[in-house]
Amino acid sequence: MAVFLYQVGEKMGLIEVQDLYYKYNDSEEWVLNGINLDIKDGEFLVIVGHNGSGKSTLAKMLNGLLVPNQGTVDVNGDKTSDRDKIWDIRQQVGMVFQNPDNQLVANIVEEDIAFGPENLGLESSEIRKRVDNSLKAVAMEEFKRYAPHNLSGGQKQRVAIAGVLAMQPKCLVLDEPTAMLDPVGRKSVMDAIQKLNKGLGMTIVHITHFMTEAIQADRIIVMEEGKIVLEGTPRDIFSQVDKIKEYHLDVPQVTELAFKLHQQGLKISPDIFDIDRLVNKLCYLK
Ligand SMILES: Nc1ncnc2c1ncn2[C@@H]1O[C@H](COP(=O)(O)OP(=O)(O)O)[C@@H](O)[C@H]1O
Ligand SMILES: [Mg+2]
């Protein structure tokens, strides 16, 4: 008899991390210390945590760049420890790093995007299609004949994202992709990521230390010393302002203000992170 594992409307599991432990060769302590995490297909997950908490190490686990010492990482049913499956896994889970300059290989944008599909040995018509679609997905189609060094940081990072998209992954893992960008560049990259998630249903794992980015997630996990110490919707997480500070993280400014007004006895919920909502609450306060 057929068994329905998922209810209609519920997202399917894409990546499953179970009892994951990891340490680098020369380290005494576990850098990842018992991580359990399910990432659903189409989910927008944000990972936050202060420096050294293990975020980048976890990111590299998700596409098999690193493999667990103990425990498992499953991508769409395949274990990253299964070396026969590793190329398939790396194609399904694309990685974007902090510095776009380290990720661009060619002298012309479109050649850069074509690099991955060419290595897959695809036909030139298919490569062309993928290059155009990928550039369009990050709103960079008009720059396809530009030299990357003539682009802004945000534009370069969007080209780096397009290069990964050309491999047609199911999931994008972005490790602080906005850390080196100015506010305009940051917004353009976040807009592109949002469009990939909401428009194309792509699964996103986004690591950031900008809380204004974290509030855009479906779910946030907070890491500390190789463990997941908090997990929930942005509202769940930022309603715990004291705890967030305990983990050396910032609270969105709007939330901080709402929290302080609440502490002063105003009838304002302490977990507001939307400026319009706070203004609205203040205007109608009796
Ligand atoms: N290649 C490496 N070799 C040895 N130790 C490392 C290496 N990369 C990271 N670490 C250590 O692992 C811990 C977690 O690092 P990382 O995953 O980069 O954290 P985060 O991305 O949260 O800043 C840190 O203590 C860091 O020093
Ligand atoms: Mg890091």
Over residues 67-93, mean pLDDT:
96
Domain spans in the chain, listed from the N-terminal domain onward: 9-96+169-249, 102-168, 252-286
Check residue 69 and give its pLDDT.
97
> Does ligand 1 come within 6 angstroms of the Cβ of 27?
yes
pLDDT of 254 > 70? The answer is: yes
Categorize the per-residue pLDDT at 285 as very low, low, confident or very high, splitting at 50, 70 and 90: confident
Superfamily of segment(s) 9-96+169-249: P-loop containing nucleotide triphosphate hydrolases (3.40.50.300)
* Helices and strands: H and E segment counts in the chain: 12, 10
What is d(CA 142, CA 163) in angstroms, rounded to the nearest whole number? 15
Q: Return phi, psi of residue 142, to 5°.
A: -75, -5
Check residue 182 and give its pLDDT.
96
The atom number, within ligand 1, closest to the CA of 49 reads 22
Categorize the per-residue pLDDT at 9 as very low, low, confident or very high, splitting at 50, 70 and 90: low
> Does ligand 1 come within 6 angstroms of the Cβ of 57?
yes
Which tens digits make up the pLDDT trace of 28-67? 899 999 999 999 999 999 999 999 999 999 999 999 999 9
Angle at 30 between CA 219 and CA 79, to 5 degrees: 60
Distance 215 CA to ligand 2 centre (A): 19
Q: In the numeric block, which tokens belong to residue 15?
A: 């990546």
Over residues 123-136, mean pLDDT:
97
Closest ligand (CA of 52): 1
> Does ligand 1 come within 6 angstroms of the Cβ of 183?
no
The model's pTM is: 0.92
DSSP letter string over 232-262?
Answer: E-HHHHHT-HHHHHHTT----HHHHHHHHHH
> Does ligand 1 come within 6 angstroms of the Cβ of 248?
no
Which residue intervals of 64-123 are DSSP H helices? 86-92, 109-119
Provide the 10 A C-beta neighbour count for residue 6.
11
> Does ligand 1 come within 6 angstroms of the Cβ of 188?
no
Check residue 1 and give its pLDDT.
42
- Residue with CA nearest ligand 1 atom 18: 56
pLDDT of 8 > 60? The answer is: no
Strands 93-96 and 32-40: unpaired
User: Is residue 144 a contact partner of residue 109, using CB atoms and an 8 Å limit?
Assistant: yes
Which residue from 229, 169, 275, 193 is spatially nearest to 47, judged by alpha carbons? 229
